[in-house]
Amino acid sequence: MAHPDAELNLIRGAYKEGIPHMVPFQVSFPLDDFMKEAGKGQDNFYQVHFYNEKQLAEAPQFLKNVEKNYKNVKAVFINVDLPTIGNREKDQKVRSLLDPDAEDALSSFAPATADLKVITWDDIIRIKNSTNLPIALKGVLRKEDVLKAAEIGLGGCIISNHGEVQT
């Protein structure tokens, strides 16, 4: 929103500094166009979450396409800490002070009524078995979930309080 190139600057900057980039599921450009900006030899990760049952059902085919078409994607991170969008009053107050017209525009990115699909361990196993890419969970809060992820052979976990911000 702050620059016409939006996230393109992030993947370019990550390449310039020699660090992997976490490609967002909700990128501002068509994925093909965005991934063309990845530098030669740049390793990236792909972050995904599921808004509805249809996206979850189509996840295996979607990830097969990512694996086939974007060779620089080395792992997939599934967001597991964001089943609903919180009120986030503090963020809204700060944004409205900076730009009184921003609130309507911001609600298109995260409407208060948004409810993301809650996924199960069976869903994670099905997704894991559908791709050769390592699957990691992003947003794990409990050690029991980390242990379960290891038990089923996931590639890792990122402990995060991203979902906690939603309260």
Q: Give the model confidence (pLDDT) of 49-92 as tens digits.
A: 888 889 999 999 999 999 999 999 999 999 987 655 555 566 56
Please list the active-site residues.
Answer: 162
Q: Which stretches does DSSP call E strand in the chain?
A: 21-23, 44-48, 73-79, 135-140, 156-159
Q: Which of 27-31, 38-42, 46-50, 125-129 has maximum average pLDDT?
A: 125-129
Per-residue pLDDT at 107: 55
For 87-130, the pLDDT digits (tens) are: 556 656 665 665 666 555 555 555 555 556 778 999 999 999 99
Q: What is the pTM of this model?
A: 0.77
Query: Which of 129-149 are b and which e, b meaning 16 or more Cβ less than 10 Å from the residue's Cβ?
Result: ebbebebbbbbbbeeebbebb
Bigger pLDDT: 135 vs 4:
135
- CATH 3.20.20.120 matches 8-13+20-83+118-166: yes
Per-residue pLDDT at 81: 79
Q: What is the mean pLDDT of residues 12-37?
A: 90
Question: Would you tell me how many other CB atoms lie within 10 Å of the CB of residue 102?
Answer: 14
Q: Coil, strand or helix: which one is 76? A: strand
DSSP single-letter state for residue 20: -
DSSP 24-41: -TT-SS-HHHHHTTSPTT
Per-residue pLDDT at 96: 63
Q: Which residues pair with 18 in a beta bridge?
A: none
Backbone dihedral angles phi then psi of residue 153, each to the nearest 5 degrees: 85, 25
CA-CA distance, 38 to 160, in Å (whole number)? 26
Per-residue pLDDT at 85: 53
Question: Would you tell me how many other CB atoms lie within 10 Å of the CB of residue 35?
Answer: 20
For 132-158, the pLDDT digits (tens) are: 999 999 988 889 999 999 999 999 999
pLDDT at 41 over 80: yes
CA-CA distance, 167 to 144, in Å (whole number)? 22
Map out the domains of the chain as residue ranges: 8-13+20-83+118-166, 88-114
